[in-house]
């Protein structure tokens, strides 16, 4: 008996109802939950409706759509955000069919009449693979959240340090590099309220850099850049990136550089 709580449901597809019934009965007796289907159309509908389906067990030769074509269709539906595996059952093993099946990512195939114990072992292997993939995805999402949290804490610390320091003169360059380039000889008054990180982002926006380029330059994520751009636009009362760039341009009119209005 398969006693663990299965991560997946098994979609069983064959145009012969007796085979579907036999396979479902065997797998359910081993602890699996099955979704029986007697046509590819029915299988597609069931797959869309039930996100818990993680394994597709289907016949290779079926009317309307064969098992390879069905798997390709389900792969398009699943995209990159839903993991599943396919196992083919075939009454006649054609070498070209097997090669094509493996090329599109079908996990395994079994010759009819199927040895049910061998099939069960194969399904358990694929279930283990899906479990590991699910764990990896969860860890990946957790790492992204932790990275974002660490960046937010670092930015908050920089903002606090900035608040403790006396404000810079409106004519003082923000850093030696900017002074040497002669780009930031005078920072508009309205930008003095920004934190150092917000000002860094504003300067890079004014140079025409994309969010991706800014993220690479500052060592933060694109989402964090988007957050900073939104904050800068709100604090300076700018409507868009172009207006922000014009306000920070060394050649901008003084009245434009002093106020966003």
What digits encode the pLDDT tens for the residues 49-98? Answer: 999 999 999 999 998 899 999 999 999 999 888 889 999 998 876 778 87
Q: How far apart are CA 92 and CA 2, in angstroms?
A: 30
Q: Which domains does the chain carry?
A: 9-140 (3.40.50.2300), 167-258 (1.10.10.10)
Opening angle at CA 213, ends 207 and 217, nearest 5: 90
Q: What is the pLDDT of residues 173-199, one digit of tens each?
A: 445 444 444 444 467 777 878 888 888
Q: How far apart are CA 32 and CA 87, in angstroms?
A: 15
Opening angle at CA 128, ends 139 and 67, nearest 5: 110
Q: What is the pLDDT of residues 219-246, one digit of tens each?
A: 888 888 888 888 888 888 888 888 888 8
Q: Is the pTM of this model over 0.95?
A: no
Element holding 60 (H helix, E strand): none
Order of strands, sheet of 85-90, starting from the edge strand that comes earlier in the sequence = 33-37, 9-13, 53-59, 85-90, 108-111
Closest by CA to 109, choosing from 132, 85, 88, 134, is 88
pLDDT of residue 28: 93
**Token code pair at residue 182:** 């002669």
Q: What is the pLDDT of residues 105-153, one digit of tens each?
A: 898 889 888 999 999 999 999 998 888 877 766 666 666 666 666 666 6
Q: Tell me the mean pLDDT in the region 7-29.
A: 92
Q: How far apart are CA 137 and CA 149, in angstroms?
A: 18
Backbone φ/ψ region at 173: left (φ over 0), alpha (ψ -120 to 50), beta: beta
Q: How far apart are CA 254 and CA 54, in angstroms?
A: 63
Confidence category of residue 37, pLDDT binned at 50, 70, 90:
very high
């Amino acid at each position: 008996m398969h006693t663990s709580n299965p991560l997946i449901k098994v979609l069983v597809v064959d145009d012969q109802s007796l085979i579907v019934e036999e396979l479902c009965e065997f797998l359910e007796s081993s602890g699996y939950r099955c979704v029986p289907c007697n046509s590819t159309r029915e299988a597609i509908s069931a797959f869309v409706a039930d996100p818990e389906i993680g394994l597709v067990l289907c016949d290779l030769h079926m009317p309307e759509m064969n098992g390879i074509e069905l798997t390709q269709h389900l792969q398009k539906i699943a995209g990159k955000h839903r993991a599943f595996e396919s196992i083919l059952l075939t009454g006649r093993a054609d070498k070209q069919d097997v090669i094509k099946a493996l090329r599109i990512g079908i996990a395994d195939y079994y010759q009819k009449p199927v040895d049910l114990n061998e099939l069960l072992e194969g399904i358990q292997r694929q279930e283990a693979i899906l479990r590991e993939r699910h764990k990896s995805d969860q860890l990946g999402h957790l790492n992204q959240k932790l990275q974002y949290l660490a960046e937010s804490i670092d930015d908050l610390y920089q903002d606090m340090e900035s608040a403790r320091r006396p404000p810079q003169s409106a004519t003082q360059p923000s850093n030696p590099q900017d002074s040497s380039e002669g780009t930031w000889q005078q920072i508009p008054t309205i930008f003095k309220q920004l934190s150092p990180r917000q000002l860094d982002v504003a300067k890079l926006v004014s140079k025409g850099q994309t969010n991706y380029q800014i993220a690479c330059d500052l060592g933060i994520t694109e989402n964090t850049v988007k957050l900073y751009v939104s904050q800068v636009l709100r604090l300076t009362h700018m409507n868009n990136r172009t207006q922000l760039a014009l306000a920070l341009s060394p050649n901008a009119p003084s009245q434009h550089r002093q106020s966003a209005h």
